[in-house]
Amino acid sequence: MLVLWITVVCSGQTAVWESATSGSSAQPVYSQSPEPGCDAYTMQEIPRLEFKRKACAYRDQLLTGSALFGAAFFAGIAQLQNDPSEWPQGADGFGRRFGVRYAQGMAKSTGSFLFGALDHEDPRAHPPANLFCASHDHGPKTGFWPRTGSALLRVVWVHRDNCTDGIAFSHIAGALSSGFIGMAWTPPPGNTIGQAFARSGTAFGGDVAASVFSEFQSDIFGVVSRLFGRGKAKQ
């Protein structure tokens, strides 16, 4: 229900179309000026993300190629390790493990979104400059170690909409949501509080790895592109 509601909230502006009598193509007529939507440019450049756009960012995380690939990848590893051993092998076992990993990812995204929205956290890695928050600079760093430090810091320390910085409760809540939701289907003897905290730690470690990767993603792709000869001038 939460996902369906967010999808409705994030829908585009409604336009009333009128046909021109002169034979020209129809033009959209708005009852009011359209506001910037949830497109990639607006999401990166707008100084402050209100609840609607944070909801759009959450919605876009639920069904993505990376989410499906990650669930399939870790399900494959669990299949090879026969974890949990109480589940069968074959397509049945892989389907269970895939569903578990995907559900854990959804729980993680949902927990991060809800707590981040309540805490007024900005989910972006580098929020653009805000004239009302001049003392808070969160622009990209230069140099390997400064960038690495920035990537690690934003997992535990984030910028808020009210021009303050604070603990990233969204990452903590997301990790705990991912770890403890597994108690709904994990068979004993692995269905314990200790194992839930262990899974939460793994989920938080995933946030750390994802933050570092996103910081250097363009550099990594640039190196790979050069290795395979892309981007070279044609002779």
* Tokens 């972006």 -> residue: 124
pLDDT score of 144: 92
pLDDT at 129 over 50: yes
The residue-averaged pLDDT of 140-161 equals 90
Q: Which string of b and e fits 21-55 if b means at least 16 CB within 10 Å?
A: eeeeeeeeeeeeeeeeebeeeebeeeeebeeebbb
pLDDT at 196 over 90: yes
The residue-averaged pLDDT of 36-44 equals 79
CA atoms within 13 A on the CB side of 128: 10
The residue-averaged pLDDT of 99-128 equals 92
Inter-CA distances, 180 with 99, 127, 191, Å: 15, 31, 10
pLDDT at 22 over 50: no
The C-alpha atoms of residue 148 and residue 168 are separated, in whole angstroms, by: 17
Winning range, highest mean pLDDT, from 35-39, 87-91, 159-163: 87-91
* Tokens 């990376």 -> residue: 66
Q: Could you tell me the pTM of the whole model? A: 0.76
Sequence ranges of the domains in the chain:
37-227
Instruction: State residue 158 phi and psi, 5-degree precision.
Output: -130, 165
Helix 193-215 with 169-180: angle, nearest 10 deg: 130
In one-letter notation, the amino acid at residue 182 is G
Q: For residue range 64-76, what is the model confidence (pLDDT) as tens digits?
A: 888 899 899 999 9
